[in-house]
Amino acid sequence: MRSVYLPFHIPSIGEEEVAEVVDTLRSGWLTTGSKTARFEDDFCRYTGARYAVAVSSGTAALHLALAAMGLRAGEEVIVPTLTFAASAEVVCYLGGIPRFVDVNPRTLTIDVEAVEAVLRAGREGRTIRAILPVHYGGYPCDMDPLMDLSKRYRVAVIDDAAHALPTFYKGRMVGTLADVTAFSFYATKTITTGEGGMLTTANQDWASAMRMMSLHGITQDAWKRYAKGGSWYYEIARLGYKYNLSDIASSLGIQQLRKCDDFLRRREAVARRYTDAFSGCPGIDLPESTRTSCGTPHGAMRHAWHLYPILLDLERLSIDRARFIEELKGCNIGSSVHFIPLHLHPFYQNHFGYRPGAFPVAEDFYAKCVSLPIYPRMTDEETVEVAEAVTELVDRFKR
């Protein structure tokens, strides 16, 4: 057993980030300014996106995307049930209705056939305005058929890429595939600004709208009011929010983005060790997307490895998933569960009538999954210790 607790995640912050933040602190300009503009420009170059808008969180990014496309009360957005709270709650912020669908059992991303069935059936008196796919754990959704459905049914695709920097789909980076893509830079994400997010799009009108709405709906370049070349005068052009990203946070993002590829290679190394250790281990199964993303040359698809979930074969074990997590904690190893399907939560049951049993693939996955630590600061020795602890627990508690 480890003598020191290994957290589920530790951000990888180096001296470069510290120096960039100190430079910002000493500049006298702390809120949205030149560092944020630089972060946005760097992000465009990195992803290949035409426009990027930095915001205060991934949730804010999704909210602004739906607001920019004009989602109205009573309109529906198709969302996979296997996702975090933010993906659906932003629909509710605007009075919309989250229309949940199941996930593909192979990839754990949105089930394209289920999306098409919802679009084809429609709903009397209701309008479906958007599809909101989630790249679960960093594995890409099947975007081509989703974009085809968006054209055929005239719905937008708002891409939830909170897990997906950098994720590649058929050689193209996520962030350039959908109408709008929302990234998260929360403390546990593949790069972090502490709290923060980014929107990317090729649509200039949407980019302008999202930028304006990110700061109270005030006319462009409102942040320059207190600079030498700025003006005190401003106009509120549309309803907005307080979603701008500070230069302090952007300073972290500038340096984190430079390390993004190195971070990915390290997570890939951890994932390969895990997959080697768990393949063929009685009591543990792996999602197909995990098995097929390790140990092969990088092709058109590339997993970002934000998460590494395993599936417990509970019929082979004498303990349940909650006890397994506690036993791991007793080995000084942190873990988590991603996610409790949204349709199982009281809010969505009470407000929209969802019930258990509605989405069996997501429910079955949720009942068995455990997310293991996977981040660049993990050493080879720590990775081996996690793998050994998991396999030893499975062996100790086998039926």
List 35, 170, 189, 329, catalytic entry? 189
Query: Closest Cα to residue 270, out of 190, 212, 336, 345?
Result: 190
Scored b (16 or more CB within 10 A) or e, 151-163 reads eeeebbbbbbbbb
Which residue carries 């909650």 as its tokens?
322
Burial of 15 (0-12, 13-18, 19+ CB in 10 A): exposed
> Both tokens of residue 348?
């969505």
Between CA 100 and CA 76 the distance in angstroms is 10
**What does the DSSP assignment read for 191-252?**
S--BS-EEEEES-HHHHHHHHHHTBTTBPTTGGGGGSTT--S---B-S---B-BPPHHHHHH
Spatial separation of the C-alpha atoms in residues 115 and 69, rounded to whole Å = 20
Contact by Cβ (8 Å): 200, 44: yes
The type of residue at 54 is A
Our answer to whether residue 170 is catalytic in this structure is no
**Amino acid at the residue 271:** A
Give φ, ψ of 56 to 5 degrees. -80, -15
Between CA 333 and CA 353 the distance in angstroms is 38
For residue 398, the one-letter residue type is K
Active site residues: 189
